[in-house]
Amino acid sequence: GNKKITKIAIPSSVTSIGSYAFNGCSSLTQIFFEDPSSLKLIRSYAFSGCSSLKSVSIPPSVVKQGEGVFFECSSLMHVSIPSSMTSIGDYCFEKCASLTQIIIPSSVTSLGKRAFAQCISLTQVNIPSSVRLIPEYAFAGCKSLKQITIPSSVTSIENNAFSSCSSLTEVSFDSDSSLVSIEKFVFFDCALTSIKIPSSVYSIEDSAFEGCSKLK
Q: How far is CA 55 from the centre of its chain?
A: 16
pLDDT tens digit string along 51-84?
Answer: 999 999 999 999 889 999 999 999 999 999 999 8
Please say if the pLDDT value at position 2 is more than 80.
Answer: no
Quick one: pLDDT at residue 9? 93
pLDDT tens digit string along 119-129?
Answer: 999 999 999 99
Provide the residue count of the chain.
216
Please say if the pLDDT value at position 206 is more than 90.
Answer: yes
Q: In which band, very low, low, confident or very high, does the pLDDT at 36 lie, cut at 50, 70 and 90? A: confident
Q: What mean pLDDT, rounded, does the chain reach?
A: 95
Collapsing DSSP states into helix, strand and coil, what is residue 18? coil
Please say if the pLDDT value at position 1 is more than 90.
Answer: no
pLDDT tens digit string along 160-188?
Answer: 999 999 999 999 998 899 999 999 999 99
Quick one: pLDDT at residue 171? 96
What are the backbone angles phi and psi of residue 4, rounded to the nearest 5°? Answer: -90, -20
Beta bridge partners, 7, equal 30
Q: What is the DSSP string of 84-136?
A: T--EE-TTTTTT-TT--EE---TT--EE-TTTTTT-TT--EE---TT--EE-T
Residues contacting 1, CB < 8 A, separation 6+: none
Q: Which of 147, 151, 97, 95 is nearest to 123 (CA)?
A: 147
User: Which DSSP helix (H) or strand (E) runs through 64?
Assistant: strand 64-65
Q: What is the mean pLDDT of residues 85-90?
A: 94
The answer to whether 4 and 29 are in contact (CB under 8 A) is: no
Q: What is the mean pLDDT of residues 192-201?
A: 94
CA–CA separation, 143 and 165 (whole Å): 4
